[in-house]
Chain A
Amino acid sequence: MNVFYILRDERGQLVPFIAVSLMLVITFSAFGIGLTAVYRDRTRIKDALDAAASAALAAGARKETRATYLYEKKVCVERNDDGDCIDWDWVKRSRDYRSYIVLNEDKAKRAARAYFDKNMRMDGLEYEIKEWVIDFRYEPRRLQVHVQRPHTEGRITTYLDDFPRYVEVTINARVETKVPMGTVVKQETVNTRLGVKHIKEID
């Protein structure tokens, strides 16, 4: 058997071709499956972040109402037999109530983290949080508050105070998850950076 015989021999010519094709198919299949899994994990992280931001507002935000005009009124506290007032007193009164939103930031932060972890655990994801930044922003609605209570509180004043109608929570996170079949494409983990923003607004 010489070199010319080997070159002329056509037996087994498809084997190298199929071997190369198989390697390509395996690599692309692994890549496709890995990419699909990474995308699915990204969707799950996004959903978990969504639940976290929603929980932060649901657990931490509450509505309150306050008057913007505080005054006092003279009322009768004692009358004689004829019904005439013989003793007066000043009582506190208020009007022009405005609703606003208050957020317990500590509670909101705890709820956000708890719901993120819960959703990720329920999805069965192995993950590690590399970055977790949660910010709150309020509407800068400042209203004038008038206090006219010289007799009951000893003061007559006017000042600007905050009455925010909405609060916004923003979570920016970087989460590391494992890549299924990552060894084939030499990418064991993937870092997903996502941000969500939720707003709670009152009428």
Chain B
Amino acid sequence: MINLYRGCPEISRLFKLISHDEKGSAVVEVAIMMPLLLMLIFGSIMFIQAYRTQVVLDTAAREAAREYAVTHDSSEAREKAEIELMIGGINPDETNIITRVNDFERQVIIEMNYRFQVPFAGKYNPVLRGTASFHREPEPEYW
């Protein structure tokens, strides 16, 4: 390639200067590696944050299902779930709280579309789900 500029000493000298100059090489290497590092670090943070949200959903579902099993009132179970979600820093309006009755079983399922973005890796939108099932308790008067 250098041969191409043999006829032009100015260009040949400039090319030699650039190819042997080591100034700024670190910047280029960091620029190449930084997206990968950022992706990994932010990916980890987002992943752990998603797990935290999952634990809050699980806790809210468990508390709500327990409430449902004891009170037999789905509105009270929803209220309990909403309180638990708010304690965990989740807006209840962004979730879908489902209560189910099956003979003696009381179920609560809380679903949430969890949106997050990892730099250089794109946007993700997984559905997180917290579930719990408890056996119906006899009326308090029974005991």
The chain A residues found within 8 Å of chain B, CB to CB, are 10-15, 18, 21-22, 25-26, 29, 32-33, 36-37, 40, 43-44, 47, 50-51, 54-55, 58-59, 63, 111, 115, 118-119, 122-123, 200-203
Contacts and interface: CB of A to CB of B under 8 A. Distances in A.
10 tightest A-B CB contacts, nearest first: A55-B135, A122-B131, A58-B135, A29-B44, A14-B29, A18-B33, A36-B51, A47-B62, A58-B137, A118-B133
A54 B58 contact: no
Contacts of B43: 29
Chain B interface size band reads 35 or more
A60 B59 CA distance: 26
Given A29-B43, A37-B51, A63-B143, A13 B133 contact: no
A32 B48 CA distance: 8
- Interface centre among A43, A44, A47, by most chain B C-beta atoms within 10 angstroms, is A47
A185 to B, nearest CB: 14
Given A14-B26, A44-B58, A123-B131, 5 more contacts: A10-B25, A14-B33, A18-B33, A29-B43, A115-B134
Contacts, number: 95
B54 A54 contact: no
Contacts of B51: 33, 36-37, 40
A197 to B, nearest CB: 16
B136 interface: yes
A13 B66 CA distance: 60
B83 interface: no
A152 B58 CA distance: 60
Interface string B12-37: 00000000001001100110010011
28 contacts: A11-B22, A11-B25, A12-B25, A13-B26, A18-B33, A21-B37, A22-B33, A33-B47, A33-B48, A33-B51, A37-B51, A43-B59, A51-B133, A54-B137, A55-B134, A55-B135, A58-B69, A58-B134, A58-B135, A59-B104, A63-B143, A118-B105, A119-B131, A119-B132, A119-B133, A122-B132, A200-B143, A203-B143
Given A50-B62, A59-B104, A123-B58, A111 B26 contact: no
Contacts of B54: 40
Q: Is the interface of B mostly helix, strand, loop or mixed?
A: helix
Contacts of A47: 58, 62, 132
Nearest to A14: B29
B41 A25 contact: yes
Contacts of A10: 22, 25
A118 B100 CA distance: 14
B126 interface: no
